[in-house]
Structure 1
């Protein structure tokens, strides 16, 4: 699957690693909070860019589907990928060989590519297979700008705070396309309007 098993041929533009967060601020109903081992990461979801993707993410969050899901593929200077609710749950059903190949029981989504926003540090995008209309539950958080993704992957949000905790996620083996052994996980994920 493309960003599920994305070839590491994308060129990461070194030197543009500066903090480039969007000025977009989400209300609590569109704010996702990801609890990591180091602390909470707050993501402003972007229904203005990708309403179907955001709706599916929020439904999965509210089902508890993202809780305990591994960051199965993490490439230093590129991105941290998670969200495989089928094979990535580290408390039930984790499969190290298949993590990154699954999705959820919900249908795949039609692409909602944006030309007005770009993949920069802190951008949250949807992983997909080669078919542009195959995003389901997996997403990734960018460590650095990567214009090669612009217009080819759906942007669903931007990190508002806690990027330092994303930086602390265990990195994968570069020779193995970022596959992580004994990966870190999303401990708990919630929508801010739902309370603790």
Structure 2
């Protein structure tokens, strides 16, 4: 595992995006919840400041191995109790560290994965729009494992650099309320994560 399973290139670009504008203003770029496709759907019960349900339509036709991993971890209960450990205003909310992202000590949250091996990249032409869900990784394109992020706003600089696994079809208002920070002082938690076919 890398010392930090985060959006390396994305965060490098974020600095440029924030400074240069890149259309990250809240009024212009936020879209409505996307249409629900054939699924499967990841249903996340969020507790904390956000409090509510988020439904993600997963895209097995786009990223079959990554979707299978997320479904497996959800069905095993591995995502239950995992915090949103990195939440950047105007960019994204990251979670899914099943190794270090739960419990009393979160000092290593964001550095772990699962007991399964890292996945080879499944890059596609699906763009990173508001509500798009992507897999977090280190500098190595083939290092995604369990962590994922939800976009608050479009991030074209991530296109073709990170694996897209789905999009939010319900609950973007909940995503918008997730506590900000790296990590947040009082992080929101994926209390329960289930799969709906």
Same fold (TM over 0.5): yes
Q: Is the 8 A contact 2:5 2:111 kept in 1?
A: no
The answer as to 2:118 corresponding to 1:108 is yes
Q: In 2, distance between residues paired with 1:83 and 1:127?
A: 9
Q: Which residue pairs with 1:120 in the alignment?
A: 129
The answer as to 2:60 corresponding to 1:51 is no
1:88 to 78, 87, 101: 101
Instruction: Using the TM superposition, give the Cα deviation of residue 95 of structure 1 relative to its aligned residue in structure 2, in angstroms.
Output: 3.1
Q: Which residue pairs with 2:173 in the alignment?
A: 164
Q: TM-score, normalised by structure 1?
A: 0.86
Q: Which residue pairs with 1:138 in the alignment?
A: 147
Instruction: Using the TM superposition, give the Cα deviation of residue 8 of structure 1 relative to its aligned residue in structure 2, in angstroms.
Output: 5.0
Instruction: Using the TM superposition, give the Cα deviation of residue 149 of structure 1 relative to its aligned residue in structure 2, in angstroms.
Output: 0.4
Aligned length: 182
Instruction: Using the TM superposition, give the Cα deviation of residue 55 of structure 1 relative to its aligned residue in structure 2, in angstroms.
Output: 0.3
Q: In 1, distance between residues paired with 2:7 and 2:80?
A: 19
Q: In 1, distance between residues paired with 2:133 and 2:11?
A: 19
Q: In 2, distance between residues paired with 1:146 and 1:47?
A: 22
Q: Which residue pairs with 1:31 in the alignment?
A: 41
Q: In 2, distance between residues paired with 1:145 and 1:7?
A: 14
Q: In 2, distance between residues paired with 1:155 and 1:128?
A: 12
Instruction: Using the TM superposition, give the Cα deviation of residue 181 of structure 1 relative to its aligned residue in structure 2, in angstroms.
Output: 2.3
The answer as to 2:26 corresponding to 1:17 is no
Structure 1 stretches of at least 4 aligned residues deviating more than 3 Å after TM superposition: 4-9, 20-24
Gaps of 5+ in 2: none
Q: Which residue pairs with 2:160 in the alignment?
A: 151
| 7-16 or 142-151, which deviates more | 7-16
RMSD of aligned Cα (Å): 1.7
Aligned to 1:164, the other structure's residue is in SS state: helix
Aligned to 1:62, the other structure's residue is in SS state: helix
Q: Which residue pairs with 2:191 in the alignment?
A: 187
Q: TM-score, normalised by structure 2?
A: 0.86
Going from structure 1 to structure 2, the CA distance change for 1:21 and 1:152 (only over 3 Å counts) comes to farther
Gaps of 5+ in 1: 173-177
